[in-house]
Amino acid sequence: MVGTGSIVWVGEVDPATAVAVAGSKMGRLSELHRAGVQVPDGFAVTVEAYRRHCAESGLDVRIDEVLAPLGTEPSPAQVEDASRRIRDLFAATPMSDELAGEVTEAYEELCLRCVDVNVPTAVRSSATGEDAADASFAGIFDTYLGVSGTPRVLDAIRACWGSLFTGRALAYRLRKRISHHDMPIAVGVIELIHARSSGVAFSVHPVTGKPDRIVIETSWGWGEAIVQGLVNPDHVEVGKSDGRTLRYDVAHKAVVSAFDFAEGKVCEIDMPAKLADRRVLDEEQVTAVTEAVKSIEEHYGYPVDVEWVISRHRRAGDPVCIVQSRPVTVVAEEKPATTYDPVALAQKYVFSGRAIPGR
């Protein structure tokens, strides 16, 4: 399946080169898989495939023509206009028959592995360098959840390529004089785990910065409503040394990210009344999330934030599924928190690659 270097599988790519070949998000998933962490199955359309597509289709030349007049300090309106024009170019430029065939073959293989027809996927941008220590690019490339069927997968991949040129990414590169040629992008296509509940978790306290506890944010369904600040999630704090639940605040959860079968994507809907004030995680599930986060921190040797999913089919004692891990990019000064504001927290702590456009 590796062939011309266009496709690599999460469980098969060499971890020594995974990030360089498949970008930060997918490379880290591969690293975690090799470390024994449960992650979704899937594949990446590689950095090399992106480079080849841009060169052979003429996109490189057309993109440079759009960017040439901007200079290093364009106006916001100029940046947004250039972003729109470039993303339109990606949407209008089909893949080569060869690359489309490789992606089609890989998607059909993923369906076979999942024992499903037109398996829903998460199609995730995975740029090189986006999860570096300064995380300057975190959160500004696109992810599409619930993409099923080969035509939609192909379209979503091209849309993810185009998201390398979001207004925020483009403005940053222009200010820093970073060429887009030096920051190519891969795209992950991974099985969409049918989420009973999900969330994010920090291996250090994200308000005080103290390393003695795990902090978990959780709600029903997929985690998009949490990371976009659309829902007030349950808040859990767990002692790192002894695994005791120190605090569990049950929130009124007004919104849920759920799969819309008619639209073929994950979207936000009103939370069913019977779930809005119900505790999301029981003690066994809290422990499972805590153990996963501790093991990932130990593996990398630095504080991490982790996106996790509890499948509808998970049974007690099974591991939780990890769909994203990256360094904690900001640690607050060690001082008492006067109030807990999950929306402010989501704005302060950047979660990479989870924004869904057009919503």
When pLDDT is averaged across residues 163-183 and rounded to a whole number, the result is 89
- Band of residue 137 on the pLDDT scale cut at 50, 70, 90: low
**DSSP label of 321:** E
Q: What is the mean pLDDT of the chain?
A: 86
Find out whether 259 and 266 touch, Cβ atoms under 8 Å.
yes
Answer yes or no: are the C-beta atoms of 158 and 87 closer than 8 Å.
no
* pTM of the full structure: 0.84
Query: CATH 3.30.1490.20 in the chain, residues?
Result: 7-191
Neighbours of 206 (CB within 10 A): 22
Label the pairing between strands 245-249 and 234-239: antiparallel
Phi, psi values for residue 271, rounded to 5°: -70, 135
Q: What is the pLDDT of residue 138?
A: 53
Q: What is the mean pLDDT of residues 247-274?
A: 89
Higher pLDDT, 359 or 177: 177
The answer, yes or no, to whether residue 72 has pLDDT greater than 80, is: no
Query: Shortest CA distance to 304 belongs to which of 313, 316, 295?
Result: 295
What is the pLDDT at residue 104? 97
In the chain, where does the domain assigned CATH 3.30.470.20 lie? 195-348
With beta carbons less than 8 A apart as the criterion, state whether 129 and 144 touch.
no
Strands, sheet with 234-239, edge to edge from the N-terminal-most edge strand:
245-249, 234-239, 213-220, 195-202, 304-311, 321-327
Banded pLDDT at 225 (limits 50, 70, 90):
confident
317 contact partners, CB below 8 Å, separation of at least 6: 284
* Cα 58 from Cα 295, distance rounded (Å): 45
Query: Given a cut of 60, is residue 244 above it in pLDDT?
Result: yes
Tell me, which fold does domain 7-191 have in CATH?
Answer: Dna Ligase; domain 1 (3.30.1490)
Domain 195-348, CATH class in plain words: alpha beta
Residue 129 is predicted with a pLDDT of 65
Entry field: residues in the chain: 359
Instruction: Please give the pLDDT value at position 5.
Output: 83
pLDDT tops 90 at residue 285 = yes
Q: Which two tokens stand for residue 351?
A: 């979660």
pLDDT of amino acid 330: 54
pLDDT digits (tens, 9 = 90+) for 304-340: 999 999 999 999 999 999 999 988 865 544 443 434 4
Helix (H) or strand (E) holding 30: helix 18-34
**Alpha carbon distance 41, 121 (integer Å):** 10
